[in-house]
Chains A and B, each alone.
Chain A
Amino acid sequence: MQLPRRVFLALALGAPVSASRAADRSILLATTTSAENSGLLGYLLPRFEKASGIRVKVVAVGTGQALKLGERGDADLLLLHHPPSEEAFVAAGFGIDRREIMANDFLLVGPAEDPAGARGRDVLAAFRAIAASGAPFVSRGDASGTHERERELWRAAGIDPGSAARGWYREAGSGMGATLNIAAAMGAYTLADRGTWASFANRRGLVVLVEGDPRLSNVYAVTLVNPARHPHVKVAEARALADWLGGPEGQAAIGSFEVGGTRPFRPIATARAVPGSDGGR
């Protein structure tokens, strides 16, 4: 057991420790809480690390914060699920080579008693029913990909929940798991991604009420941080991970990941055109 020695060392030196302990072939992957909380990355990355010798450090934050990390050059690769902001990120010159690698879907979850009568409707009708009934709805409220999608759904339903005077719309300002904890405690509705829901242990009375609506599709993509803007970015290593995730091994691993008795992620990467072959498109 090396614990006492390290503690003693820290006591004796009183100095910043272990800054350069890790091997240097490592990259920083900024991703959303949904990919991390589901356990998917804990399943995929050891396989990649074994195959490549590249260590992946994961920082799991909301999509807004992950984009900011990429913009400032604090990450090498982003794994996100909000295509409009990812495309804007690339268009602004912050990122390159966005590639869609997997998909799952969002779910409307809520109390089993379903006071708003949302069960089984299409998602826009369900949102309207919730707003009309005044039953509590907990929003992520954190500029995450899930939060952005939820706002798009309210807009499409023709409802401005921000103006809700009766206070049925609550912004948690938290990650997916924390928001589910709040919804479970309040008996409220919320929009969740299937990955986090499948692995979430504290459901209490919450059940899935709406799923399968095409408006609820959820696409995950990787984007490299632009090395032209941030020369220190480890572009070769980051590209190795992007290629592995989009390649046959990564795609098979994504498809075989299982949690809570379901396989929440579907591999969707299209084979990258290889020069000299007529690979698709």
Chain B
Amino acid sequence: MGPLGISGEIGEAAVTALRLLWSADPELLAIVALSLEVSLAATALAAMLGLPLGALLALARFPGRGALVLLVNAGMGLPPVVVGLLVYLLLSRSGPLGDHGLLFTPTAMVIAQTILVTPIVAALARQAVTDLLEDYREHLASLGLRPLAAVPVLLVDARYRLATACLAGFGRAAAEVGAILIVGGNIRGHTRTMTTAIALETSKGALEQALALGFVLILVVLAVNLAAAGLQRMARRIEG
């Protein structure tokens, strides 16, 4: 980079980011679309697995529950590179699932990210439902409801906090690079996402381009969160 100083460099990158977006470069749009597809698909799958798991951990009492809660909480810190490596070994042609030819496809990236995001959604969902349960315990008791029978009520009441859990999971997925680089391969036009493209531009020494792509990624994540907030507001209005 030139003798601009860091603020100058960031300013230039921001201008480049806007120019990239304005030009609607088809390759950039495809990269943004793939990033969104993979991260949203992984978040949706993680929600399907993690929300019921979190509710179960909050409400059910069974042996080993404490250990499972600990495991899920620790799972929020799963190292992406390790998850990527494990999924690689699973999907590799010489691995147990190799016959499906899934390595270096978007599907492989969704699988890896689902593993990373599920513990986040489950742990935050468990906490949300536990908190609500505290508030409602007497109420439920007076109605004669057992906690498990109250699951639907609690999930509906906790919906905004659960939505936040999903957004946290989406944030992890959208920002992640270590796992999808290994199982996706950063193949141009096929498995290249925002984060792997940023890593590639950095390694080429094209720091301004890398930073510009970073701004685009931040804008995309911001847009997803804005959309979620808008949906929440709409839902609240309808509710009354």
Contacts of B98 in A (CB 8 A): 73
Contacts of B47 in A (CB 8 A): 14
Stretch of B63-71, B75-83, B154-162, B183-191 contacting A (4+ beta carbons < 8 Å): B183-191
Contacts of A177 in B (CB 8 A): 202-205
Q: When the two chains form their complex, are residues A37 and B107 in contact, meaning their CB atoms are under 8 A apart?
A: no
Cβ-closest chain B residue relative to A196: B204
Given A16-B110, A57-B185, A203 and B103 contact (CB-CB distance below 8 Å): no
Q: Is B1 interfacial (CB 8 A cutoff)? A: yes
Stretch of B33-41, B130-138, B232-240 contacting A (4+ beta carbons < 8 Å): B33-41
Q: When the two chains form their complex, are residues B37 and A17 in contact, meaning their CB atoms are under 8 A apart?
A: yes
Stretch of A2-10, A85-93, A156-164, A236-244 contacting B (4+ beta carbons < 8 Å): A2-10
A15 CA / B34 CA spacing, docked (Å): 13
Q: Is A232 interfacial (CB 8 A cutoff)? A: yes
Name A187-238 residues within 8 Å CB distance of B: 199-203, 230, 232
Name A137-195 residues within 8 Å CB distance of B: 174-178, 180-181, 184
Which of B34, B102, B203, B206 makes the CB contact (< 8 A) with A175? B203
CB distance from A240 to the nearest CB of B (A): 19
User: Which of A10, A22, A73 lies at the interface centre, i.e. has the most chain B CB atoms within 10 A of its CB?
Assistant: A10
CB distance from A111 to the nearest CB of B (A): 16
Q: Is A253 interfacial (CB 8 A cutoff)? A: no
Q: When the two chains form their complex, are residues B188 and A58 in contact, meaning their CB atoms are under 8 A apart?
A: yes
Name B88-132 residues within 8 Å CB distance of A: 92-95, 98, 101-107, 110-111
Which of B48, B186, B206 makes the CB contact (< 8 A) with A60? B186
Which of A1, A59, A181 makes the CB contact (< 8 A) with B187? A59
Given A177-B204, A177-B205, A202-B207, A3 and B33 contact (CB-CB distance below 8 Å): yes
Q: Is A74 interfacial (CB 8 A cutoff)? A: yes
Given A3-B32, A73-B98, A59 and B203 contact (CB-CB distance below 8 Å): no
Q: Total interface residues on B, using CB and 8 Å?
A: 40
Contacts of B44 in A (CB 8 A): 10-11, 13-15
Q: Is B140 interfacial (CB 8 A cutoff)? A: no
CB distance from B188 to the nearest CB of A (A): 7
Cβ-closest chain B residue relative to A2: B33
Q: Is A28 interfacial (CB 8 A cutoff)? A: yes
Q: Is B29 interfacial (CB 8 A cutoff)? A: yes
Q: Is B24 interfacial (CB 8 A cutoff)? A: yes
Name A10-57 residues within 8 Å CB distance of B: 10-11, 13-19, 22, 28, 33, 37, 42, 57
A200 CA / B105 CA spacing, docked (Å): 29
Q: Total interface residues on A, using CB and 8 Å?
A: 42
Total A-B pairs in contact (CB under 8 Å)?
112
Q: Is A72 interfacial (CB 8 A cutoff)? A: yes
Q: Is B45 interfacial (CB 8 A cutoff)? A: yes
CB distance from B63 to the nearest CB of A (A): 33
Return the CB mask of B13-55 against A: 1 if under 8 Å, else 0: 0000000000010000100111011101100110110000000
Q: When the two chains form their complex, are residues A72 and B101 in contact, meaning their CB atoms are under 8 A apart?
A: no
A57 CA / B204 CA spacing, docked (Å): 19
CB distance from A261 to the nearest CB of B (A): 16
Which of B40, B95, B102 makes the CB contact (< 8 A) with A11? B40
Cβ-closest chain B residue relative to A181: B205
A28 CA / B184 CA spacing, docked (Å): 12
A7 CA / B48 CA spacing, docked (Å): 19
A60 CA / B24 CA spacing, docked (Å): 27
Q: When the two chains form their complex, are residues B190 and A74 in contact, meaning their CB atoms are under 8 A apart?
A: no
A199 CA / B48 CA spacing, docked (Å): 46
Interface residues of A (CB under 8 A from B): 1-3, 6-7, 9-11, 13-19, 22, 28, 33, 37, 42, 57-60, 72-74, 174-178, 180-181, 184, 199-203, 230, 232
Q: Could you list some 14 contacts between A and B, CB below 8 A? A: A10-B37, A13-B41, A14-B41, A15-B41, A16-B107, A17-B38, A18-B105, A19-B102, A58-B187, A60-B186, A72-B93, A74-B104, A177-B203, A181-B202
